Chain A
Amino acid sequence: MEILTGNELISGAAVYLDGHGVWVEDLQSARLYAKDEAVARDEALAASKATGRVVSLEIEEVEQVDGVIVPKRLRERIRAAGPTAPLSLNGQAYERQHLGEDGHVSIR
């Protein structure tokens, strides 16, 4: 299975295309594309690129483990969850970047 991912323009936050054609922060809301949905996937990719609001667009391979979407690549798991370094200088875990008020973008 595959998902579409990218980085939101203003924040640079990792975002995922959901089933409603909206780019969201939550990996678990990502739309899953089966292998035979390549046409729909590529159309969504092209439409997203046309908006110019999501950059570094990529198709990522994922699997579902007990109903949870898990990217196959470690890189993508880190993108989804944030840096893994256990502690920051302030003793708090690093967070991932989040979208601002105008960060959410639809391709519809």
Chain B
Amino acid sequence: MYRYDEFDAAFVAGRTAQFADQVKRRLSGELSEDQFRPLRLMNGLYLQLHAYMLRVAVPYGTLSSRQMRKLAHIARTYDRGYGHFTTRQNIQYNWPKLSDIPAVLEELASVEMHAIQTSGNCIRNVTTDQFAGAAADEIIDPRPIAEILRQWSSLHPEFSYLPRKFKIAITGSPNDRAAIRFHDIGLQAAVNGAGEIGWEVWVGGGLGRTPMIAKLLNSFVPNEHLLAYLESIMRVYNRYGRRDNKYKARIKILVHEEGLESIKGQVEAEFAEVRGGVLTLPQEEVDRISAYFAPPAFADRSGDSVDIAYQSIIDPAYGRWLDNNLHPHVQSGYASVTISLKPVGGAPGDATDAQMDVVADLAERYSYDELRVTHEQNLVLPHVAIADLRAVFDVLVAHDLAEGNNNLITDMICCPGLDFCALANARSIPIAQEISRKFADPVRQKEIGDLKIKISGCINACGHHHVGHIGLLGVEKKGGELYQITLGGDATESASVGKIIGPGFEAEEVPNAIEKLVDFYISQRQGEEETFLVAYRRLGEAPFKEALYG
């Protein structure tokens, strides 16, 4: 786990004190709202429908137990006893009072956390694979580079006022669990002919009103030149990204309009200027940062195993959880455990203060004090011994956290929607809740298999609907809500953008519409191994449309 050095600590403390003074001056009337608004947004503080919303960064989705307990404490003390984990590995508090924000930021700073650059046209929280440093399929732990990117991008003077917000995701695995092709820059670990590990650099991906899959800009950038290369990209974007139209300001539009080769030429020209300069990453610094992310001193549990088939017979709920919520670990005898924040009828991504405390306790006792936040709005215990799984499960059961539905139909991504968000056109959470209830039967969920539903309450696509196998986009029509259905989206290494299949549905019709699609898929699939997405790609849009609309 990375620990702040004196520079990190001083910068967060300084910023916290600065914002406390700004809040004080706003409350006294010395600052007008027009003056204050950009200042609060620079500190992750939005004003939503009912209250302020504070967005707190969880750098590369990694938390210690101490940090999670602090998040729980903040939820309990300054909010309404819960927090909302988001698709960008942040946590959002929906009900804080402005006058409490300085105290909240001080609490966060005390555990090396903050809300800086969680809003605004700057480089946002760098996200990564939730199983980083633990996954069996990993080429390299991406978190040291993510931490270096955090240090490079935090308050970067040249990139504090970009044409638009800028999002970077990084994965150390060939299996993309960080949706890197839907970020402004995506980095994927690569090995060159000499056996050296470096990074594929993907650029110009994104969702929103113009969804685009990122394009490969460079197939191998060595560690030592990565910062210089990224700085080169940022400079080209900062120079040529459109500032006249916020809807065309993201780098995806620049890449699309200029063409990849043109952008590449400009990046390479910039790179030729800065390569080998002050941005060269010394190996000793990479090593120093990497040491913070060294694997725990695992006990030898290589002989331990669990018979999931047997457990499924004697305790189906435990069997389902084992079957769906474990991820292969690099260390024999261990697994990474996904803790579902998608109980039947719940709001995806929400966790109570008590649940956060429980998860922190579990991490401390069973996962070497480490926790992760996933971009799919779940939590992860990255390093759990196989022999401890039952004990972990029993605690989760007692706190409504043991849903064995990871990657199943009820494991939905869902933005806050019109119930909270000032930008939304339609509600999302009640739709997710109804779908969840419709498909609550775990036997039915298992029959359906891997199926990702993603729901957004507006075109900004915080719910990633474009990359849902089934996506739902809420739109406003004649003062009411209507939900467009997209099919075929995929956020992984086989990325695709879903297509709108036909006219939208009223809210109450959505669960039945989903059921029609699911029933059709099951009737057409070539065996249980053929997932919804694979079947859709084989069959094409037309028969699904026919099944839905007749």
List the interface of chain A (C-beta within 8 A of B): 7, 9-14, 52, 55-56, 72-75, 78-79, 82-90, 94, 96-97, 100
Contacts and interface: CB of A to CB of B under 8 A. Distances in A.
B346 A89 contact: yes
Interface of B: 26-27, 29, 32-33, 47-52, 81-82, 95, 97-99, 345-347, 350-352, 355, 400, 418-420, 422, 424, 427, 429-430, 433, 476, 479-481
B98 A10 contact: yes
Contact of A78 (B29, B52, B419): B419
A12 B46 CA distance: 10
A83 B51 CA distance: 11
A76 B476 CA distance: 13
A61 B472 CA distance: 29
A103 to B, nearest CB: 10
CB-based closest 8 A-B pairs: A83-B419, A12-B51, A97-B51, A12-B52, A85-B429, A97-B50, A55-B33, A89-B352
Nearest to A14: B50
Contacts, number: 87
Given A85-B419, A100-B97, 20 more contacts: A7-B47, A9-B26, A10-B97, A10-B98, A12-B48, A12-B51, A55-B33, A74-B418, A74-B476, A74-B480, A75-B49, A75-B418, A78-B419, A84-B427, A86-B345, A89-B346, A89-B355, A90-B81, A97-B50, A97-B51
B81 A85 contact: no
Contacts of B50: 12-14, 79, 82-83, 96-97
A86 B430 contact: yes
A12 B26 CA distance: 14
Contact of B32 (A13, A52, A79): A52
Given A11-B51, A12-B97, A79-B50, A85 B32 contact: no
A16 B481 CA distance: 25
Contacts of B420: 83
Nearest to B26: A9
Given A52-B33, A74-B481, A87 B49 contact: no
Nearest to A83: B419
A97 B50 CA distance: 6
Contacts of B476: 74
A55 B40 CA distance: 13
26 contacts: A7-B47, A9-B26, A9-B33, A10-B97, A10-B98, A12-B48, A13-B51, A56-B47, A73-B479, A78-B418, A83-B50, A83-B420, A84-B427, A84-B430, A85-B419, A85-B429, A86-B430, A88-B350, A89-B82, A89-B350, A89-B351, A89-B352, A89-B355, A90-B82, A90-B352, A97-B50
A72 B98 CA distance: 29
Contacts of B346: 87, 89
Contacts of B481: 74
B27 A10 contact: yes
